[in-house]
Chains A and B, each alone.
Chain A
Amino acid sequence: GENVEQHPSTLSVQEGDSAVIKCTYSDSASNYFPWYKQELGKRPQLIIDIRSNVGEKKDQRIAVTLNKTAKHFSLHITETQPEDSAVYFCAASLPGGGNKLTFGTGTQLKVEL
Chain B
Amino acid sequence: QVQLQQSGAELVKPGTSVKLSCKASGYTFTSNHMNWIKQTTGQGLEWIGIINPGSGGTSYNVKFKGKATLTVDKSSSTAFMQLSSLTPEDSAVYYCARLSGHYVMDAWGQGASVTVSS
Q: Do the two chains bind?
A: no
